[in-house]
Chains A and B, each alone.
Chain A
Amino acid sequence: MDEIVVEVRVNGAPRRAQVEPRLTLADFLRERCRLTGTHLGCEHGVCGACTVLLDGAAVRSCLVLAVQAQGREVTTVEGLATDGGLTDVQQAFRDCHGLQCGFCTPGFVVTVTAMLADDPAPDDTAVREALSGNLCRCTGYQGILAAVRSVVDERAKEAS
């Protein structure tokens, strides 16, 4: 099959590669960009581990073809913190025991980042709803919920 040249901005940097149309955005990020922070669990849109931001919206990168991202802006978990440290969301996951093995964590962190950009003051129901598309199979969801709660509370405190 004819390969196609894709140009995508990933975490602010232009990336260009010649790809097969069937290459997913997830595989493009991991194998072509060597950004292995985006994890692949199920590869068919169930687990949420591969969640990235496409033009700012959370999407499952296993359900987007690299060619569909042509000319667009992608942010992966590596691109969230700009100063080499951790974002408040990442720090809260660490502080609240929101991760154990860490496999699902990039997907959760990206999802939570997008959710809080849309809705800075979600109630617990809205948080659970937003988290429902990401699966964690070891530490459970209470620590993750607590992490989100703490980010919401901290941001509210800073804003007031």
Chain B
Amino acid sequence: MKAAPFAYDAPTTPEEAVGVLAEHGDAAKVLAGGQSLLPMLALRLAVFDRLVDVGRIGALQGIERRGDALWIGAGTTDAAVERSAEVASAAPLVARATPLIGHLQIRNRGTLGGSIAHADPAAEYPAVALALDASMDVLGPGGRRTVAAADFFTGLWSTVVEPDELLVGVSFPVWSGRCGFAVEEFARRHGDFAIAGAVVAVELGGDDGVRRCAVGLIGMGSTPLRAPTAEKAATGAAVGGVDADEIGRLAAADAVGVPSDLHGTAGYRRRVCAAVVTRAWTKAVEEARRG
């Protein structure tokens, strides 16, 4: 349970971090909060020659409104997100997903950017980023680029971020109007990764028609997923006529590559997924109707 030896750098600017990453390539790994990376190193599921600790980079910290989006610095801890009134009002889905991440000791160290860059399909923030069409600010030796969440996640624990690039921040579009948001998960034990989970955002028009909606799925594939068929079925419909159970069924059917392991078969996960989507849809719609 001890990590293999590695060298350590603690740069103080994003550019300096990228410089170190560019020099060492695949052999180096970014260390953010370390709540996923350090267990993997301790269990020797992963081995790196060098860790680049980005925890001392002030430019990666912060939560600020930038036009129609809420920007959250990649190094912002889950606990800071959880405490933020700005997040609660501008990105309620992010706020509601946060208490479901691990336990308080984990949230005091874990970071939003770390979770998204780690890209665990069973984690909350990647699914929220995908559902809200967030955009990722990525810094590399050639400069900055912005990547849409839909293009960001490429597979289990993998993203388009190159070994010499650093995720700097994430911009979550702010949904305004009559909106509702909900996150529902089912896990065997409190704080565990969910067997399946759902994040839902809904915006209603004045006539109670579904103006837009987003359904994100947690733990249902090798990446976080959207449920396009379910979203399409609801969008434009009168909300009263949308059957929440049907949305759940459609969303579960949308998942591809559903994992099967000792926690549950793919078939069982689909059933759990349908149930959590239905619950999240119902809650989000109730909230939107009150708005």
Q: Is residue A13 within 8 Å, beta carbon to beta carbon, of the partner chain?
A: no
Least CB distance from B30 to A in Å reads 13
Q: Tell me which of B5-13, B61-69, B89-97, B223-231 binds A.
A: B5-13
| Chain A residues with CB below 8 A from B158, complex form | none
CA distance A72 to B106 in the complex (A): 18
Q: Is residue B39 within 8 Å, beta carbon to beta carbon, of the partner chain?
A: yes
The A-contacting residues of B in range 52-97, CB under 8 angstroms, are: 53, 55, 79
A57–B42 touching, CB < 8 Å: no
| Chain A residues with CB below 8 A from B4, complex form | 22
Q: Is residue B148 within 8 Å, beta carbon to beta carbon, of the partner chain?
A: no
| Chain B residues with CB below 8 A from A43, complex form | 1-2, 42
The B-contacting residues of A in range 127-160, CB under 8 angstroms, are: 129-130, 132-133
Interface size of B by CB at 8 A reads: 31
Least CB distance from B250 to A in Å reads 33
A58–B108 touching, CB < 8 Å: yes
B7–A21 touching, CB < 8 Å: yes
CA distance A115 to B107 in the complex (A): 13
CA distance A2 to B10 in the complex (A): 14
B39–A48 touching, CB < 8 Å: no
**Can you name the residue of chain B whose Cβ is closest to the Cβ of A61?**
B105
Instruction: Pick the contact of B7: A2, A64, A114, A133 (CB < 8 A).
Output: A2
A45–B5 touching, CB < 8 Å: no
Q: Is residue A68 within 8 Å, beta carbon to beta carbon, of the partner chain?
A: yes
Least CB distance from B108 to A in Å reads 4
| Chain A residues with CB below 8 A from B31, complex form | 65, 68
A68–B5 touching, CB < 8 Å: no
Most-contacted residue by chain B among A57, A65, A67 (CB, 10 A): A65
Q: Is residue B205 within 8 Å, beta carbon to beta carbon, of the partner chain?
A: no
Interface 1/0 per residue, A27-67 and B, CB below 8 Å: 10000000000000011110010010010011110111101
Q: Is residue B43 within 8 Å, beta carbon to beta carbon, of the partner chain?
A: yes
A21–B8 touching, CB < 8 Å: yes
Q: Is residue A18 within 8 Å, beta carbon to beta carbon, of the partner chain?
A: no
A51–B6 touching, CB < 8 Å: no
| Chain B residues with CB below 8 A from A20, complex form | 5
12 CB < 8 A contacts A-B = A1-B6, A4-B8, A43-B1, A45-B35, A45-B38, A58-B108, A60-B109, A64-B38, A65-B31, A114-B104, A129-B99, A132-B190
